[in-house]
Amino acid sequence: MNKIIECVPNFSEGRDAQKIVRIVSEIEQVQGVKLLNVESDTDYNRTVVTFAGKPEAVKDAAFYAIEMAAEVIDMSKHKGAHPRIGATDVCPFVPVANVTMDECVQIARVLGKKVGEWLGIPVYLYGEAAMIPERHLLPDIRKGEYESLPERLKDEKWRPDYGHAEFNDNVRKTGATVIGAREFLIAYNVNLDTQNIQIANKISGIVRASGVVKINEKGEKVRIPGLLKFVQAMGVHLKEHNITQVSMNLLNYKVAPPHVAFEEVKKQAGVLGVRVTGSEIVGLVPKEALLTAGRFYSKEPSEERIIAVAVERLGLSQLNKFIPGKKVIEYMLA
């Protein structure tokens, strides 16, 4: 039986079409790999690429793409709304068919070693591939972003897993890269009809699993957990659209699916006097997540109609037209 893994690298370039084409072309030229989705955002200045195929071919394609990104992207000049630490900000591997998580971990570590040694890029391993517990979560590694690297690389605690711990001319241009293995993640953003980033940040703190840190009556810092398990969230201002977003990573869509996140954000927004105008999924989404949402909102009998209801009720076509045939991973792999 064919082994299939998915790779979803995020590149710190969302505005220069020629640079994006050069990176994506490196993936397309590898035999045994299928390009599934390319999604760029000018406000985030970021491109999310999704491709899948045989494990070795996917690993090779990821390396070539990281190599090209290091050539065409200069992190010392990069500005964008989304947190980032390098030209290839993050590169996760996801088991799809007949592949174990352990196999994805091995691929991530082999690639990380090659990127560190051959390209001279500091590499941190995260997710299931992390070799240090404090590096399991991506936000912990990315804290302080690219701008923190000169000092962070001097800290023994943040010595990269692969590559040199030195902010040299090469690293000034490429930044660092985070490589790992994880289960399927849904990048999901809910749009707010306000430009007030404080409102988006407040809602993010309420819904995300980690919650917020507050000072109690004794003057001590205490963490107040958020409402949704397996959810990461932050507020983002989209200048081009004159709105803000609650930008989320749904780490386990079976526990916290898109419609649950959408309804909770809508509820909290209403309390603050703000209207939710829709949402967007960045990259691909498992069919089950949309079917679950569609069944929550209606009793339509057919798969096609159930998904159509989910798209409509979640407002998935407000910013970008949502086409199930191009956004549902099972349809793309078929």
Residues 85, 178: contact at Cβ < 8 Å? yes
Structure tokens at 14: 């969302």
Whole-angstrom distance, CA of residue 154 vs CA of residue 148 = 10
Please provide residue 252's backbone torsions phi and psi, each rounded to the nearest 5 degrees.
-140, 95
- In this structure, which amino acid lies at residue 329? I
Of 78, 82, 237, 259, catalytic? 82
Instruction: Give CA–CA dist 146/78, Å, rounded.
Output: 9
Confirm whether 82 is a catalytic residue: yes
Phi, psi of 68 (to 5 degrees): -70, -40
Contacts of 84 (CB under 8 A, 6+ apart): 10, 12, 46, 75, 78, 142, 145, 146, 175
CB contact burial 156-192 (16+ within 10 A = b; e otherwise): eebebbbbbeebeeebebbbbbbbbbbbbbbbbbbbb
| Residue 43 C-alpha from the chain's centroid | 15
Catalytic residues, which ones? Answer: 82
